[in-house]
Amino acid sequence: MPTPYDRTTRRTFLDRLARATGALVLAPISSACAARAAEPSKPGDPRAVPRERPAGWDPIEFNRARGNAGAIPASYLPSINGPDGDAKHLGKHLPYIPNFERARFPAGAIALMWGDSSKGYAAHPNAAPSQANPEGHWFNWIRIRKAVAGDAEERESRFSAWPHPRPGDNGAYRASRGDAPGADSGKDTIYIAELPSDVRPGDLVRIHAHCITHGEYVDFLVVPS
């Protein structure tokens, strides 16, 4: 049984393969719209992701520790551990729910952005691959699970390209202002991700997402009505 980390490593490989070939490559365990089995909780594993929000949850400290344990690329560790690490690097990758018209995305989905300025965090930019940055910069998957102790569906939304998803992706983009998600260096981009079928407004969910440049981040949010 692969660990959550093993699965992520394989996905990263497949993501890079997809970008290199221009094709969408999917791991056997997850088609674009598949519900995922929740991974086992492994207390003591520094890369384990908690199913429920722990008492005293501190997403900055959790993600710093998990990042240093391998969930964040080594090249980014000096940034997250540096003097601006909390706001400009870790906080920048934490999800929040923007003030966005509910009518502008489907039922059964949630609108997310990264780096809540009301908490003093830097806004996360997004970028397509370019000569200067061949990898590009965006969140290529978002996994959402109801924050409960027992088994629960985890739904993965995939974003194989930015600012427009590829055919087969089940994630979508919106712009917080106007219709162009690429405005303001991509800081205007809203991610539209699918919710598991057992999630209702008011539920606490776990958001586990992957920035292709800066690694994985985890936080908990309440689904708005």
> Is the distance from CB of 144 to CB of 205 less than 8 angstroms?
yes
In angstroms, what is the minimal distance from the CB of 93 to Fe ion? Answer: 6
211 binds Fe ion (CB under 5 A): yes
Closer residue to Fe ion (CB): 60 or 211: 211
> Is the distance from CB of 93 to CB of 128 less than 8 angstroms?
no
> Is the distance from CB of 208 to CB of 219 less than 8 angstroms?
no
89 binds Fe ion (CB under 5 A): no
**Residues contacting residue 115 through CB under 8 Å, at least 6 positions apart:** 91, 92, 93, 94, 96, 121, 122, 123, 124
In angstroms, what is the minimal distance from the CB of 55 to Fe ion? Answer: 29
In angstroms, what is the minimal distance from the CB of 213 to Fe ion? Answer: 5
Contacts with Fe ion, 167-196, as mask; x by CB under 5 A: ------------------------------
3-state secondary structure of 41: coil
Place of tokens 């980014």: 76
How many CA atoms, within 13 angstroms, populate the side-chain half-sphere of residue 18?
Answer: 21
What number of residues does the chain have?
225
38 binds Fe ion (CB under 5 A): no
In angstroms, what is the minimal distance from the CB of 124 to Fe ion? Answer: 6
Closer residue to Fe ion (CB): 206 or 214: 214
Closer residue to Fe ion (CB): 40 or 120: 120
214 binds Fe ion (CB under 5 A): yes
Closer residue to Fe ion (CB): 25 or 127: 127
Handedness of CA 105, 106, 112, 117 (dihedral sign): positive
User: Which tokens hold the place of 210?
Assistant: 């992957």
Distance CA 185, CA 180 (A): 11
By CB under 5 A, how many residues form the interface with Fe ion?
A: 3
Binding segment toward Fe ion, per CB under 5 A, in 51-59, 73-81, 147-155, 208-216: 208-216
Q: Which runs of E-coded beta strand occur in 33-87? A: 35-37
Closer residue to Fe ion (CB): 113 or 199: 113
In angstroms, what is the minimal distance from the CB of 215 to Fe ion? Answer: 8
112 binds Fe ion (CB under 5 A): no
Interface residues toward Fe ion, by CB under 5 A: 211, 213-214
